[in-house]
Chain A
């Protein structure tokens, strides 16, 4: 089955700086890669996703890049703000290959220092 590795486990950046979180996956058949944000005590919520037919996707201050050959994808947050502090999870899935759920990374605790 799929295995997703996520790094780093904790990331502390100064407010206004950029943050990058990286994930690798093992199953080359995976074709959907979402990122979820989970604030303390709350449910995970989708913030951005990318499919394997696209190399990069951007939504305001967040972007995701995908390298299918290397089987890794990254989340980029620019001009970080205090409200960006949360745990971020990457995930992978083969859409259309069955109804099984997402395989998640272990999460990155992003801390925005004022």
Chain B
């Protein structure tokens, strides 16, 4: 069966520090991968999606970047965190563009102080 792993679960980082969140999927090949951010009272906002290794699309301009170095690995990064980067970050995967259900990771609670 397929599983998605996301870590760390919680993270407190100072303003200006770098960020690296990692997400891996097991049990499937060539998944579509997504990073969402959930800010308080704002729902789930799509940040990045990827259809394959090295292929990243950004939905909104921001202080973050994403990379997909391997088929089932998706990384969210920042060189310098801002206070506004605080939120709950969720990685998700789906089988392919014709399939619909998105499966979410456990999420990372990021607090920038």
Residues of A within 8 A of B (CB): 6, 9, 32, 34, 42-46, 49, 89, 91, 93, 95-96, 98-107
- Residue of A at shortest CB range from B39? A106
- Residue of A at shortest CB range from B32? A99
Q: Which residues does chain A contribute within 8 Å of B57, judged by CB atoms?
A: 99-100
**Among candidates A34, A98, A106, residue contacting B41 with C-beta atoms closer than 8 Å:** A106
A95 touches B43 (CB 8 A): no
Distance in angstroms from B74 CB to nearest chain A CB is 12
Summarize A's interface: helix, strand, loop or mixed. Answer: loop
B101 touches A104 (CB 8 A): no
Contacts A34-B102, A95-B98, A104-B43 aside, 9 further interface pairs with beta carbons under 8 A come to A43-B105, A44-B44, A44-B90, A99-B97, A101-B92, A102-B46, A102-B102, A104-B45, A106-B42
Bitwise, B37-71 to A at CB < 8 A (1) or not (0) is 00001111110010100000101000000000000
CA distance A98 to B97 in the complex (A): 6
A-B contact count (CB 8 A): 63
A-B contact pairs, 17 of them (CB 8 A): A46-B102, A49-B100, A93-B100, A95-B98, A96-B97, A96-B98, A98-B97, A100-B46, A101-B34, A101-B36, A101-B46, A102-B44, A104-B36, A104-B45, A106-B41, A106-B42, A107-B44
B100 touches A95 (CB 8 A): yes
B59 touches A100 (CB 8 A): yes
Size class of the B contact interface (CB-based, 8 Å): 20 to 34
CA distance A34 to B90 in the complex (A): 17
A104 touches B107 (CB 8 A): no
A34 touches B101 (CB 8 A): yes
Known: A99-B49, A104-B45, A105-B43. A44 touches B104 (CB 8 A): yes
Bitwise, B68-110 to A at CB < 8 A (1) or not (0) is 0000000000000000000000101000111111101111000
- Residue of B at shortest CB range from A6? B43
Q: Which residues does chain B contribute within 8 Å of A105, judged by CB atoms?
A: 43
Known: A96-B98, A100-B57, A101-B36. A43 touches B104 (CB 8 A): yes
